[in-house]
């Protein structure tokens, strides 16, 4: 893949695995499952290749139930896909395989000094904006994902940058609602945004920005890239990363 290396892909899968409990609470014909499924399938294809065991395992498991899961088999499908994801993760973690093979393309190293120069926000400043997140591990993951999203966007790897930036925003909104003791309208990105809107937690401009990032994430599937105008640009990727800080300023 021109973006994520294999270790980053494994981290991506781990995050997607954590989405399954929330997906299982939704109706069988919900709109979140296809987005979740396609994001995983796209990453597996781009990182490991369409002929790889990793991609084929996931694709064949999904294909067993057809493109859309039947009503009575939805949760069985989720559990099957969860097992496949775990098997892919376990292979790399158990064997401790080097998951960052040498490539002609490279991702620029980026740290918070680079982010400060680009967006005018320090790591400490961002940390204060999200001080409602008390769990040290969650804070570390968010800081890491922000750095990686910026590094990907700066290196021209726009698609994975938008995916990662959107995931950071989604998690920030979820944790903010949890901090406010407000139950979301639904356990998904759209539900978090609409709940923040209804409770006056986000300004109108920031709310629109959140919707834009969610739409960017829906555009990053391979099937959507039919023409160059549908391809995610570097400017769009940088904008998605910038959206993290714009939204954080409203917390």
Average pLDDT of 57-65? 80
Domain 112-248 in CATH 3.40.50: no
CA distances, 140 to each of 18, 123, 147 (Å): 17, 11, 11
Domain residues of the chain, as ranges? Answer: 6-95, 112-248
Q: Is the pLDDT of residue 206 over 70?
A: no
Average pLDDT of 29-47? 85
Dig out the tokens for 138 from the structure.
């969650």
Q: Please, is 113 exposed, middle or buried when counting C-beta atoms within 10 Å of its C-beta (0-12, 13-18, 19+)?
A: exposed
What does the DSSP assignment read for 101-134?
---SS-PPP--HHHHHHHHS--HHHHHHHTTT--
Q: Is the pLDDT of residue 220 over 50?
A: no
Q: Is the pLDDT of residue 132 over 90?
A: yes
Q: Is the pLDDT of residue 211 over 50?
A: yes
Q: Which of 113-117, 160-164, 167-171, 208-212 has the lowest mean pLDDT?
A: 208-212
- Number of residues that this document lists for the chain: 251
What does the DSSP assignment read for 209-222?
HHHHHHHHHHH-SG
- pLDDT score recorded for residue 130: 93
> For residues 137 and 178, is the Cβ–Cβ distance under 8 A?
no
Q: Model confidence over 232-248: pLDDT tens digits?
A: 778 888 888 888 998 88
Dig out the tokens for 127 from the structure.
């940390």
Average pLDDT of 136-160? 86
Q: Is the pTM of this model over 0.85?
A: no
User: pLDDT grade, residue 204 (50/70/90)?
Assistant: low
- pLDDT score recorded for residue 250: 80
User: pLDDT grade, residue 65 (50/70/90)?
Assistant: low
Radius of gyration over every alpha carbon of the chain, rounded to an integer in angstroms = 18
Mean pLDDT across the chain: 78
Q: Model confidence over 153-203: pLDDT tens digits?
A: 888 888 788 888 888 888 899 999 999 999 988 887 778 888 888 888 877
Q: Which of 6-10, 180-184, 218-222, 230-234 has the lowest mean pLDDT?
A: 218-222
> For residues 91 and 121, is the Cβ–Cβ distance under 8 A?
no
CA distances, 74 to each of 37, 57, 113 (Å): 13, 18, 46
Average pLDDT of 98-114? 58
Alpha-helical segments (H) within 18-157: 20-23, 32-48, 53-63, 74-95, 112-119, 123-129, 136-154
């Amino acid at each position: 893949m021109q973006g994520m290396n294999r270790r980053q892909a494994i981290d991506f899968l781990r995050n997607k695995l954590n989405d399954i409990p929330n997906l299982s609470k939704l109706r069988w014909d919900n709109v979140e499952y296809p987005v979740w499924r396609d994001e995983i399938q796209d990453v597996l294809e781009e990182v490991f290749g369409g002929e790889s065991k990793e991609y084929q395992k996931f694709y064949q498991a999904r294909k067993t139930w057809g493109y859309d899961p039947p009503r009575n088999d939805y949760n069985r499908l989720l559990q099957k896909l969860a097992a496949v994801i775990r098997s892919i993760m376990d292979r790399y973690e158990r064997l401790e395989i080097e998951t960052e093979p040498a490539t002609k393309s490279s991702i620029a190293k980026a740290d918070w000094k680079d982010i400060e120069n680009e967006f005018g926000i320090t790591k400490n400043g961002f940390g204060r904006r999200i001080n409602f997140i008390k769990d040290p591990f969650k804070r570390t993951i968010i800081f890491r994902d922000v750095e990686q999203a910026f590094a990907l966007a700066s290196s021209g790897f726009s698609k994975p940058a938008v995916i990662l930036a959107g995931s950071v925003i989604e998690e920030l909104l979820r944790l903010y609602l949890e901090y406010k003791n407000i139950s979301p309208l639904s356990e998904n990105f759209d539900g978090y945004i609409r709940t923040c809107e209804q409770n006056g937690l986000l300004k109108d401009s920031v709310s629109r920005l959140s919707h834009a990032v969610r739409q960017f994430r829906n555009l990053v599937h391979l099937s959507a890239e039919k023409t160059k105008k549908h391809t995610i640009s570097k400017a769009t990727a940088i904008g998605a990363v910038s959206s993290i800080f714009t939204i954080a300023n409203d917390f």
